[in-house]
Amino acid sequence: MGNPFHEEICVVAQPGEAIPQGGMAFLEPRQHRPSVARGRCELVPGRSTVAERAVRIHALCGSDVGDKIADGKFRFLPENLDLVSGGPHVPLFPGHRFQVAQESVPTIGTIGSFESVRQKINCDASHREMIPAERAASSESSASVAPSSANGRIALHDFTPGDNHMKLAKRVESLPPYLFAEISKKIAAKRAQGFDVVTFAIGDPDLPTPPHILDSLHRAANEPSNHRYPESEGLPELRQSIADWYERRFEVRFDPQKETLPLIGSKEGIAHMALCLIDPGDVALLPDPGYPVYEIGTMFAGGQPYRVDLSREGKWLPDFDRIPNDVADRARLIWLNYPNNPTGAVADIGFFERAVAWAKKHDVVICHDNPYCDVAYDGYKPVSIFQAPGARDVAVEFNSWSKIYNMTGWRIGMVVGNPVLVDALMRVKSNVDSGIPQAIQRMAIDAVYGPQDCIDEHNSIYQRRRDRMVEVLRKIGLEVDTPKASLYIWAKLPAGVTSAEYAARLIEDCSVVVTPGRGYGLNGEGYIRLSVTTPDDRMEEGLRRLEAWKGL
């Protein structure tokens, strides 16, 4: 990465753009590289009018990024789109990333231009804190002068940490905002302005947990034995129910005590799995586009994400032969996810057989994320990786009651597979959590052994919504491959428009929220994701607005 150095970047915003004090900014490196820069932005004193607002961005970055930003313009990445404000520019809000717009890449949200006046300085622990605004503004260096509306400057300062700024760990400073937390903020802000917002953004089932499962929770909550600390490894009966469910659903058998483990929602286990396998500098292979938590877990463990390209032409499946051998040999794990979020793609047993053979060749662990295995349409039945011979030697699979039984709010999931890997995750969890409340465990057990007709009932509702949404999206000019499974519709946008721009116009013009595809990775650009978990009446209202929309 080269010798790290600090930069202070001043950028002038266009009229009407919001740049709140304390916002975050991140530099986006080249593809297949982990984030190597992070920073904090604040208003430049004396330049905070609506007509002309300047922001100073303090960034800690590597020399390769510094070389890239020596001349050019800022280009904000659309996964951190401000869904509230419209207009031709993307405002800078907490957590926004930026990168240099190359000539071959159309710019979006370009804010100002800048010059570079920089020198490299050593970056040890004493130089990780950001420059206090008052000290940076009063610096005698000519490079610290606030820029005019036509020109910004980059200036470097050798400094000591400010006494009034709390130093956070690099793993926290470098964190991007969680995509859906940011979207929720935009929805709340839009509603606070008095708008009736319809959201298709988040895949959280609107249908309630079935009554017989809730009845089990009510009974269990009244038992005093369930009021005490649970165990991290879960009740033996719960682990048995996980093994029984897998045998019933996929005809594969697991030792409930050695090859199953309950989780506080599968997201928790996914985030912690990297701690079991990744040491600082190790490589994790992540799908692009893909669920953001795969990368966050890697970052927490100090690993290096390597993005494996997925494409519509390749049916959103990775081509293992295109992963360079030197990268594969350095990798410790690869994340797979079918049925897929965000694309809705599916994989068959043949694909998993190829994945297992490749993983054995390169000594890579496969982590398969399979929470949508029972959210399927038109008679399709998704598979488990453990239906592929030899998978138990190299794989674990994450699953959840959330999507199967509409239990997202109860936070209970599972991991099954290789006993060494399951035990490693249990050891991590036993040191960081106290397990799932036992009343919820009892509830989950009864969900497995109780009536299962609720699954087909839910899927028939989702399928009807899917068909209606696909119809309208195609009518307004989007390309959609009808998904066989998952809660999502992945729609290709017309050429020449970014997912950020499209999503911004939808919320500005229609008060309809969708998820920009770029939020899932570089290969999500040019797509938007919609969820089928919007209640029928709200879905119809949102679709009515889309049908009446005049477009870009």
Distance CA 303, CA 332 (A): 10
Per 3-state DSSP, the chain is made up of helix, strand and coil in percentages (nearest 5) of 35, 20, 45
Query: In the structure encoding, which two tokens stand for residue 334, read together?
Result: 């690869």
| Greatest Cα-to-Cα distance within the chain, rounded to the nearest angstrom | 74
Our measurement of the distance from residue 420's CA atom to the centroid of its chain's CA atoms, rounded to an integer in Å, reads 28
Cβ–Cβ < 8 Å for 532, 488: yes
Pairing of strands 395-400, 413-417: antiparallel
CA distances from 282 to 143, 153, 395 (A): 39, 36, 18
Of 3.40.50.1110, 3.90.1150.10, 1.10.530.10, 3.40.50.720, which CATH number belongs to 183-207+454-548?
3.90.1150.10
Q: Which pLDDT score is estimated for 141?
A: 31
Q: Which pLDDT score is estimated for 179?
A: 65
DSSP string, 432-474: H-----HHHHHHHHHHHHS--HHHHHHHHHHHHHHHHHHHHHH
Could you tell me the sign of the dihedral formed by the alpha carbons of 315, 320, 326, 330, in that order? Answer: positive
Cβ–Cβ < 8 Å for 339, 345: yes
- Within 8 A by CB and 6+ apart from 455, the residues are 374, 404, 405
Cβ–Cβ < 8 Å for 260, 415: yes
Our measurement of the distance from residue 362's CA atom to the centroid of its chain's CA atoms, rounded to an integer in Å, reads 27
Distance CA 77, CA 519 (A): 9
Could you give phi then psi for residue 525, rounded to 5 degrees? -60, 140
Our measurement of the distance from residue 42's CA atom to the centroid of its chain's CA atoms, rounded to an integer in Å, reads 26
Q: Give per-residue pLDDT as tens, 62-116.
A: 333 333 332 333 333 333 323 222 222 333 333 333 332 222 222 222 233 222 2
Of 3.30.70.1380, 3.40.640.10, 3.30.70.920, 3.40.50.1450, which CATH number belongs to 211-449?
3.40.640.10
Q: Which pLDDT score is estimated for 170?
A: 81
Cβ–Cβ < 8 Å for 415, 379: no
Cβ–Cβ < 8 Å for 265, 412: yes
Query: In the structure encoding, which two tokens stand for residue 39, read together?
Result: 């920073």
The edge-to-edge listing of strands for the beta sheet with 365-369 is 260-263, 413-417, 395-400, 365-369, 331-336, 283-288, 304-309
Query: In the structure encoding, which two tokens stand for residue 337, read together?
Result: 């996810």
Q: Which pLDDT score is estimated for 551?
A: 80
Q: Give per-residue pLDDT as tens, 356-409.
A: 999 999 999 999 999 999 999 999 999 999 999 999 999 999 999 999 999 999
**What are the extents of the domains in the chain?**
5-177, 183-207+454-548, 211-449
Q: Which pLDDT score is estimated for 165?
A: 58
What's the average pLDDT block by block, 10 residues per block, for the chain (552 residues)? Answer: 36 38 33 31 36 34 31 32 29 35 27 27 25 31 28 29 64 72 77 90 94 97 96 95 98 98 97 97 96 94 95 98 95 98 98 98 98 98 98 98 95 98 97 95 98 97 98 97 98 93 90 93 96 98 96 78
Query: In the structure encoding, which two tokens stand for residue 92, read together?
Result: 């800078």
Q: Which pLDDT score is estimated for 504?
A: 86
